Amino acid sequence: MTFEEIYNTYSPRVYRLCMGYVNDSTWAKDITQETFISVWQNLGKFRQESSVGTWIFRIASNNCLRQLEREKKNLKSEMPIDIEEKLMEDNSEQEKLLFRFISELEETDRLIISLELEELPQAQIAEIIGISEGNVRVKIHRIKEKLLKKFQEHEQLQRHKATLA
């Protein structure tokens, strides 16, 4: 695979992973760019001990963690005001809510569910995270339950607001 093919295949997925992780489109774009600079610089050194996708997602995950540590700031639980413009135009309100709810999860959970949403096999997620595949399955189930609860609470809040209006 050429770098261009790798970039075209993985950059939207890496961006969504980063977006789910940091909940800031500018930050996610920067981390995506940083990830592909690393991929470009190290492509010749790639030993093919895992798939290219696993390698790229591991780089992206590490970049997200490093960036969070560097910035030493809490993640926003609210979407930035300008996020409407910066997210891809085809994102529905449900997808925007999903990004927000994912950003409210603990770091490991954000990473796991972001990789799951990119349809990575659970064995690959386990390899990236460094936990067993069985543990990944359990965590995904629990994360989905947390997200479902957040959506249900949001719907109840919206209904309550509608009755007050």
- Structure-block tokens of residue 163: 């009755």
Q: 14-71, pLDDT tens digit by residue? A: 998 888 777 788 888 999 999 999 999 998 888 887 788 889 998 998 888 787 777 6
pLDDT at 59: 92
Query: Is the domain defined by 3-164 classed in CATH 1.10.3470?
Result: no
Domain map of the chain by residue range?
A: 3-164
Concatenating the DSSP letter of every residue in 54-108 gives HHHHHHHHHHHHHHHHHHT-PPPSSPPTTHHHHS-TT--HHHHHHHHHHHTS-HH
Residue type, 30: D
